[in-house]
Amino acid sequence: MSPGILGKKIGMTQVFTAEGQVVPVTLVKAGPCVVTQRKTPATDGYDSVQLGLVEYAKKPNKPMEKHLAKSGAEGVKFLREFHLGQGTGDLKQGDRVLVGEFKPKDVVDVIGTSKGRGFAGLVKRHHFRGGPSTHGSMFHRAAGSIGASSFPSRVFPGMKMAGRMGTDQVTVRNLEIVSVDVDDNVIAVKGAIPGPNGGYVMVRRVNR
Protein backbone atom coordinates (compact mmCIF):
# COMPACT_ATOMS: atom_id res chain seq x y z
CA MET A 1 0.00 0.00 0.00
CA SER A 2 1.42 3.33 -1.07
CA PRO A 3 1.75 6.17 1.50
CA GLY A 4 0.32 8.59 -1.06
CA ILE A 5 -0.05 9.58 -4.68
CA LEU A 6 0.69 12.59 -6.88
CA GLY A 7 -1.85 14.40 -9.01
CA LYS A 8 -3.14 17.58 -10.61
CA LYS A 9 -6.02 19.66 -9.32
CA ILE A 10 -8.93 19.71 -11.78
CA GLY A 11 -11.32 22.02 -9.92
CA MET A 12 -14.20 22.12 -7.49
CA THR A 13 -17.74 20.83 -7.87
CA GLN A 14 -20.43 19.35 -5.66
CA VAL A 15 -21.99 15.95 -5.18
CA PHE A 16 -25.12 14.73 -3.46
CA THR A 17 -25.18 12.07 -0.77
CA ALA A 18 -27.81 9.36 -0.51
CA GLU A 19 -29.62 11.56 2.03
CA GLY A 20 -29.72 14.47 -0.43
CA GLN A 21 -27.05 16.53 1.29
CA VAL A 22 -24.81 18.70 -0.91
CA VAL A 23 -21.08 18.07 -0.36
CA PRO A 24 -18.45 20.39 -1.92
CA VAL A 25 -15.57 18.37 -3.39
CA THR A 26 -12.34 18.98 -5.28
CA LEU A 27 -11.49 16.69 -8.19
CA VAL A 28 -7.88 15.54 -8.45
CA LYS A 29 -6.47 13.59 -11.38
CA ALA A 30 -4.25 11.29 -9.33
CA GLY A 31 -1.64 9.14 -11.00
CA PRO A 32 -0.61 6.94 -12.51
CA CYS A 33 2.66 7.20 -10.61
CA VAL A 34 5.85 5.18 -10.70
CA VAL A 35 8.41 4.59 -7.94
CA THR A 36 11.54 6.35 -9.22
CA GLN A 37 13.70 5.77 -6.12
CA ARG A 38 13.56 3.75 -2.91
CA LYS A 39 15.50 5.16 0.01
CA THR A 40 16.43 2.95 2.96
CA PRO A 41 18.06 3.58 6.35
CA ALA A 42 21.09 1.57 5.27
CA THR A 43 21.86 3.68 2.21
CA ASP A 44 20.24 7.07 2.90
CA GLY A 45 19.67 7.16 6.65
CA TYR A 46 15.86 7.14 6.47
CA ASP A 47 13.01 5.19 4.93
CA SER A 48 11.10 6.83 2.08
CA VAL A 49 9.92 6.40 -1.48
CA GLN A 50 10.15 8.86 -4.38
CA LEU A 51 7.17 8.93 -6.72
CA GLY A 52 6.92 10.45 -10.19
CA LEU A 53 3.69 11.49 -11.87
CA VAL A 54 3.49 9.93 -15.34
CA GLU A 55 2.41 12.51 -17.92
CA TYR A 56 3.67 14.14 -21.09
CA ALA A 57 6.83 16.11 -20.40
CA LYS A 58 9.75 17.56 -22.29
CA LYS A 59 12.98 15.62 -22.40
CA PRO A 60 14.74 16.00 -19.03
CA ASN A 61 18.37 16.94 -18.60
CA LYS A 62 21.00 14.19 -18.60
CA PRO A 63 21.27 13.71 -14.80
CA MET A 64 17.49 13.41 -14.44
CA GLU A 65 17.29 11.21 -17.54
CA LYS A 66 19.75 8.71 -16.05
CA HIS A 67 17.94 8.87 -12.69
CA LEU A 68 14.60 8.02 -14.31
CA ALA A 69 16.12 5.32 -16.52
CA LYS A 70 16.91 3.23 -13.43
CA SER A 71 13.19 2.77 -12.78
CA GLY A 72 12.10 2.68 -16.42
CA ALA A 73 9.98 5.80 -15.94
CA GLU A 74 9.27 7.89 -19.02
CA GLY A 75 7.35 11.13 -19.26
CA VAL A 76 7.80 11.93 -15.56
CA LYS A 77 7.85 15.63 -14.70
CA PHE A 78 6.62 16.01 -11.10
CA LEU A 79 8.66 14.17 -8.44
CA ARG A 80 7.97 14.11 -4.71
CA GLU A 81 9.05 12.00 -1.76
CA PHE A 82 6.90 10.23 0.83
CA HIS A 83 8.22 8.95 4.14
CA LEU A 84 7.35 5.34 4.82
CA GLY A 85 5.82 4.28 8.10
CA GLN A 86 4.29 1.15 9.51
CA GLY A 87 1.70 -0.50 7.29
CA THR A 88 2.70 1.32 4.10
CA GLY A 89 4.10 -1.80 2.46
CA ASP A 90 7.39 -2.49 0.74
CA LEU A 91 7.53 -0.59 -2.53
CA LYS A 92 10.32 -1.23 -4.99
CA GLN A 93 11.83 0.87 -7.73
CA GLY A 94 9.69 0.63 -10.86
CA ASP A 95 6.45 -0.26 -9.05
CA ARG A 96 3.26 1.46 -10.17
CA VAL A 97 1.01 3.41 -7.81
CA LEU A 98 -2.56 3.75 -9.04
CA VAL A 99 -5.62 5.54 -7.72
CA GLY A 100 -7.32 2.19 -7.08
CA GLU A 101 -5.30 1.87 -3.87
CA PHE A 102 -7.57 4.51 -2.31
CA LYS A 103 -11.22 4.10 -1.44
CA PRO A 104 -14.06 6.31 -0.16
CA LYS A 105 -13.92 7.29 3.52
CA ASP A 106 -10.10 7.26 3.46
CA VAL A 107 -8.55 10.29 5.19
CA VAL A 108 -5.71 12.13 3.46
CA ASP A 109 -3.59 15.26 3.71
CA VAL A 110 -3.29 17.33 0.54
CA ILE A 111 -0.10 19.35 0.02
CA GLY A 112 0.12 21.99 -2.70
CA THR A 113 1.41 25.44 -3.58
CA SER A 114 -0.97 28.30 -2.92
CA LYS A 115 -1.97 30.75 -5.63
CA GLY A 116 0.46 33.60 -6.26
CA ARG A 117 -1.03 37.03 -5.50
CA GLY A 118 1.97 39.18 -6.34
CA PHE A 119 2.99 42.16 -4.21
CA ALA A 120 0.30 42.79 -1.60
CA GLY A 121 -0.18 45.35 1.14
CA LEU A 122 -0.73 44.84 4.85
CA VAL A 123 -4.52 44.73 4.70
CA LYS A 124 -4.66 42.00 2.08
CA ARG A 125 -1.56 40.08 3.14
CA HIS A 126 -1.89 40.15 6.95
CA HIS A 127 -5.55 41.24 7.38
CA PHE A 128 -4.70 44.52 9.12
CA ARG A 129 -7.75 46.65 9.95
CA GLY A 130 -6.39 49.90 8.53
CA GLY A 131 -7.12 53.42 9.67
CA PRO A 132 -10.32 55.50 9.66
CA SER A 133 -11.90 56.16 6.28
CA THR A 134 -13.42 59.59 7.09
CA HIS A 135 -13.06 62.68 9.33
CA GLY A 136 -9.97 63.90 7.55
CA SER A 137 -7.93 60.82 8.26
CA MET A 138 -4.82 60.51 6.12
CA PHE A 139 -4.04 57.00 7.37
CA HIS A 140 -6.05 54.36 5.52
CA ARG A 141 -4.16 51.27 4.33
CA ALA A 142 -0.61 52.32 5.18
CA ALA A 143 1.73 50.61 7.64
CA GLY A 144 2.07 52.01 11.14
CA SER A 145 5.17 52.05 13.30
CA ILE A 146 7.60 49.21 12.66
CA GLY A 147 9.98 50.05 15.53
CA ALA A 148 11.25 52.86 17.76
CA SER A 149 14.12 55.06 16.57
CA SER A 150 16.15 55.32 19.79
CA PHE A 151 15.80 51.74 20.96
CA PRO A 152 16.21 49.19 19.47
CA SER A 153 17.00 51.38 16.42
CA ARG A 154 16.25 48.53 14.06
CA VAL A 155 13.39 46.45 12.68
CA PHE A 156 12.98 43.02 14.24
CA PRO A 157 13.05 40.02 11.89
CA GLY A 158 9.60 38.68 11.08
CA MET A 159 7.89 42.07 11.19
CA LYS A 160 4.60 41.91 9.28
CA MET A 161 5.00 44.16 6.26
CA ALA A 162 3.89 44.42 2.66
CA GLY A 163 5.50 42.00 0.22
CA ARG A 164 5.05 38.97 -1.97
CA MET A 165 1.92 37.01 -1.16
CA GLY A 166 1.16 33.41 -2.06
CA THR A 167 3.20 30.64 -3.74
CA ASP A 168 3.75 29.01 -0.35
CA GLN A 169 3.53 25.32 0.48
CA VAL A 170 0.19 24.69 2.14
CA THR A 171 -1.00 21.47 3.78
CA VAL A 172 -4.71 20.84 4.33
CA ARG A 173 -5.10 18.01 6.81
CA ASN A 174 -7.67 15.29 7.41
CA LEU A 175 -9.71 15.53 4.23
CA GLU A 176 -12.09 12.70 3.40
CA ILE A 177 -12.16 10.96 0.03
CA VAL A 178 -15.73 10.98 -1.24
CA SER A 179 -15.37 8.90 -4.40
CA VAL A 180 -12.74 7.22 -6.58
CA ASP A 181 -12.95 6.87 -10.38
CA VAL A 182 -10.50 4.14 -11.33
CA ASP A 183 -11.16 4.41 -15.08
CA ASP A 184 -10.26 8.12 -15.31
CA ASN A 185 -7.77 8.20 -12.38
CA VAL A 186 -9.83 10.82 -10.54
CA ILE A 187 -10.53 11.13 -6.83
CA ALA A 188 -13.02 13.50 -5.23
CA VAL A 189 -11.80 15.02 -1.97
CA LYS A 190 -14.24 16.71 0.40
CA GLY A 191 -13.57 20.43 0.73
CA ALA A 192 -11.01 22.73 -0.87
CA ILE A 193 -7.33 22.10 -1.51
CA PRO A 194 -4.53 24.62 -2.13
CA GLY A 195 -3.35 25.83 -5.52
CA PRO A 196 -4.87 26.82 -8.85
CA ASN A 197 -6.66 24.49 -11.24
CA GLY A 198 -3.99 22.47 -13.00
CA GLY A 199 -1.57 22.76 -10.07
CA TYR A 200 0.37 19.76 -8.81
CA VAL A 201 -0.53 18.31 -5.40
CA MET A 202 0.56 15.52 -3.09
CA VAL A 203 -2.18 13.32 -1.63
CA ARG A 204 -0.71 11.78 1.51
CA ARG A 205 -2.45 8.96 3.34
CA VAL A 206 -3.24 9.51 7.03
CA ASN A 207 -2.59 6.47 9.19
CA ARG A 208 -5.13 6.21 11.99
- DSSP code of residue 87: T
For the stretch 56-73, pLDDT in tens is: 666 777 887 777 777 777
Per residue, what are the HEC states of 35-81? Answer: EEEEECCCCCCCCEEEEEEECCCCCCCHHHHHHHHCCCCCCEEEEEE
Judge contact between 149 and 188, C-beta under 8 A. no
Residue (of 77, 112, 70) closest to 93 by Cα position: 70
Type of residue at 17: T
User: How many CB atoms within 10 Å of residue 96?
Assistant: 14
Is residue 88's pLDDT more than 60? Answer: no
Is residue 7's pLDDT more than 70? Answer: yes
Task: Report residue 208's pLDDT band, with 50, 70 and 90 as the boundaries.
Answer: low
Is residue 87's pLDDT more than 70? Answer: no
Q: Is the peptide bond before 152 cis (omega within 30 degrees of 0)?
A: yes
Q: What Å distances lie between residue 141 and 91, 119, 127, 157, 190, CA to CA? A: 54, 14, 11, 22, 36
DSSP 161-174: -SEEE---EEEEEE
3-state secondary structure of 145: coil
What is the model's pLDDT at position 31?
78
For the stretch 93-150, pLDDT in tens is: 888 889 988 999 999 999 999 999 999 999 999 999 989 999 999 999 998 889 888 9
Is residue 38's pLDDT more than 90? Answer: no
Q: What Å distances lie between residue 17 and 21, 23, 107, 155, 180, CA to CA? A: 5, 7, 18, 53, 15
Q: Determine the topology of domain 4-116+169-205 in CATH.
A: Elongation Factor Tu (Ef-tu); domain 3 (2.40.30)
Q: Which of 39-43, 65-69, 76-80, 104-108 has the lowest mean pLDDT?
A: 65-69
12-39 mean pLDDT: 90
3-state secondary structure of 9: strand
User: Whole-prediction pTM value?
Assistant: 0.82
The residue extents of the domains of the chain are 4-116+169-205, 118-165
Is residue 78's pLDDT more than 90? Answer: no
